[in-house]
Structure 1
Amino acid sequence: MKTTRRIAFAAAVALGAAGCTGAAPTAQGTSGAPSATPRSSAASPATTPAASPTVPRLSQAQRRRAAADVAPLSTAALAAQLVVPDLGSIDAGAAATVRQQGYGGVVVMRNALPAGPAAAGAAKAGNARISAAVTASGRRWPAFVAVDQEGGTVTRLDAPLTQFPGAMALGAAGSAGLAAKVGRASGAELRGLGFTVVMAPDADVTIGAADPTIGVRSPGSDPALVSRIAAGYVRGYRQSGILPVVKHFPGHGSVRGDTHTGLARQDADLAALTKRDLVPFRDAVKAGAPAVMTAHVILDAVDRQRPASLSRAVTTDLLRDKLGYQGLIVTDALNMGAITEGIGAGEAAVRALEAGADVLLMPADPAAAVSAIEDAVTTGRISRSRLEASAALMVATLRANVAAVPKDSAPGSHGNIAREVATSSLTQISGRCGRRLVGRSITPSGGTAADRAALAAAAKRAGLRVNDTGTTVALLGGGVYRAGSARSSGATSATADVLVALDVPYGLASSKGVKIAAYGRTPATFTAVVDVLLGRSRAPGALPVAVGSVQAGAGCGR
Structure 2
Amino acid sequence: MPSRRTVLAATAGVAATLAVSGTASADDKQDDKKLRSLIARMTLPEKVGQLFVMRVYGHSATAPDQADIDANLQEIGVRTAAEMIAKYRVGGIIYFTWAHNTRDPHQIADLSDGIQRASLRQPRGLPVVISTDQEHGIVCRVGAPATLFPGAMAIGAGGSRTDARVLGQVAGQELRAVGIRQNYSPVADVNVNPANPVIGVRSFGAEPQAVAGLVAAEVRGYQGAGVAATAKHFPGHGDTAVDSHYGFPVITHSRELWEKLDAVPFRAAIRAGIDSVMTAHIQFPALDPSGDPATLSHPILTGILRGELGYDGAVVTDSLGMEGVRQKYGDDRVPVLALKAGVDQLLNPPSLDVAWNAVLRAVQDGELTEARLDESILRILRLKARLRLFEAPYVGQGGVTRTVGTPAHLAAADRIAGRTTTLLVNEKRLLPLSRRTHRKLLVVGADPASPSGTTGPPTGVLAAALTELGFTATALSTGTAPSADTVARAVGAARQADAVIVGTYNITPAQQALVEQLVATGRPVVAVAIRNPYDVAHLPTVPACLASYSWTDVELRAAARVIAGRTAPHGKLPVPVQQVDDPAKVLYPVGYGLSYDR
TM-score range, shorter chain: 0.7 to 0.9
Match in the other structure for 2:506: 478
Q: Is the 8 A contact 1:243 1:398 kept in 2?
A: no
AA of the residue aligned to 1:400? R
- Distance in 1, matches of 2:266 and 2:276, equals 11
Match in the other structure for 2:497: 469
Deviation at 1:296, TM superposition (A): 0.8
Match in the other structure for 1:253: 238
Q: 1:528 aligns with which of 554, 558, 565?
A: 558
1:490-511 Cα offsets, whole Å, 9 max, x none, are: 9478345211111111111111
2:136 is the alignment partner of 1:154:
no
- Distance in 2, matches of 1:176 and 1:293, equals 22
2:130 is the alignment partner of 1:102:
no
AA of the residue aligned to 1:79? V
- Distance in 2, matches of 1:226 and 1:492, equals 31
Secondary structure of the 1:319 match is: helix
Match in the other structure for 2:439: 440
Match in the other structure for 2:61: 91
Q: 2:575 aligns with which of 542, 545, 549?
A: 545
- Distance in 2, matches of 1:536 and 1:172, equals 19
Match in the other structure for 1:338: 324
Q: How does 1:103-182 map to 2 (within 5 A)?
A: 103-113=90-100, 118-139=103-124, 141-182=126-167
Q: Is the 8 A contact 1:350 1:373 kept in 2?
A: yes
Deviation at 1:157, TM superposition (A): 2.2
Match in the other structure for 1:409: 403
1:519-555 Cα offsets, whole Å, 9 max, x none, are: 1223232322222122222101110011231111101
Match in the other structure for 1:210: 195
Residues 435/444 of structure 1: CA separation in 2 closer, same or farther (3 Å cut): closer
2:53 is the alignment partner of 1:67:
no
Secondary structure of the 2:343 match is: coil
Q: Is the 8 A contact 1:433 1:539 kept in 2?
A: no
1:143-163 Cα offsets, whole Å, 9 max, x none, are: 111111111111112212122
Q: How does 1:37-436 map to 2 (within 5 A)?
A: 56-57=23-24, 59-89=28-58, 91-92=61-62, 93-113=80-100, 118-139=103-124, 141-304=126-289, 305-402=291-388, 408-411=402-405, 413=407, 414-431=409-426, 436=432
Residues 88/556 of structure 1: CA separation in 2 closer, same or farther (3 Å cut): same
Q: Is the 8 A contact 1:442 1:466 kept in 2?
A: yes
Deviation at 1:64, TM superposition (A): 2.6
Q: Is the 8 A contact 1:105 1:144 kept in 2?
A: yes
- Distance in 1, matches of 2:86 and 2:32, equals 24
Deviation at 1:238, TM superposition (A): 1.0
Q: Is the 8 A contact 1:76 1:371 kept in 2?
A: no
AA of the residue aligned to 1:424? R
Q: Is the 8 A contact 2:136 2:148 kept in 1?
A: yes
Q: Is the 8 A contact 2:292 2:328 kept in 1?
A: no
- Distance in 2, matches of 1:402 and 1:127, equals 15
Q: Greater CA deviation, 87-96 or 533-542?
A: 87-96
Residue ranges of structure 2 left out of the alignment (5+ in a row): 1-20, 63-79, 448-455, 475-495, 520-524, 579-586
- Distance in 2, matches of 1:57 and 1:551, equals 42
Q: Greater CA deviation, 434-443 or 526-535?
A: 434-443
AA of the residue aligned to 1:461? E
Match in the other structure for 1:517: 547
Residues 239/141 of structure 1: CA separation in 2 closer, same or farther (3 Å cut): farther
AA of the residue aligned to 1:103? V
AA of the residue aligned to 1:335? G
TM-score (norm 1): 0.84
- Distance in 1, matches of 2:505 and 2:411, equals 25
Secondary structure of the 1:555 match is: coil
- Distance in 1, matches of 2:403 and 2:30, equals 31
Deviation at 1:336, TM superposition (A): 0.8
- Distance in 1, matches of 2:413 and 2:39, equals 41
Match in the other structure for 2:592: 554
Residues 492/357 of structure 1: CA separation in 2 closer, same or farther (3 Å cut): farther
Secondary structure of the 2:419 match is: helix
Secondary structure of the 1:265 match is: coil
- Distance in 1, matches of 2:470 and 2:571, equals 25
Deviation at 1:139, TM superposition (A): 4.1
AA of the residue aligned to 1:520? S
Q: Greater CA deviation, 158-167 or 391-400?
A: 158-167
Q: Is the 8 A contact 1:141 1:395 kept in 2?
A: no
Q: Greater CA deviation, 244-253 or 376-385?
A: 376-385
Deviation at 1:270, TM superposition (A): 0.8
Match in the other structure for 1:24: none
- Distance in 2, matches of 1:433 and 1:55, equals 52
Match in the other structure for 2:461: 454
- Distance in 2, matches of 1:460 and 1:412, equals 25
1:404-427 Cα offsets, whole Å, 9 max, x none, are: 666852245521121012101011
Residue ranges of structure 1 left out of the alignment (5+ in a row): 1-53, 480-487
TM-score (norm 2): 0.78
Residues 194/508 of structure 1: CA separation in 2 closer, same or farther (3 Å cut): same
Secondary structure of the 2:425 match is: coil
- Distance in 2, matches of 1:200 and 1:250, equals 15
AA of the residue aligned to 1:110? T
Deviation at 1:357, TM superposition (A): 0.5
1:31-59 Cα offsets, whole Å, 9 max, x none, are: xxxxxxxxxxxxxxxxxxxxxxx962473
Deviation at 1:215, TM superposition (A): 0.7
Q: Is the 8 A contact 1:345 1:366 kept in 2?
A: no
Identity %: 31
Q: CA RMSD in A?
A: 2.3
Which has the higher relative contact order, 1 or 2, with Cα contacts under 8 A spaced 6 or more apart? 1
- Distance in 1, matches of 2:169 and 2:388, equals 13
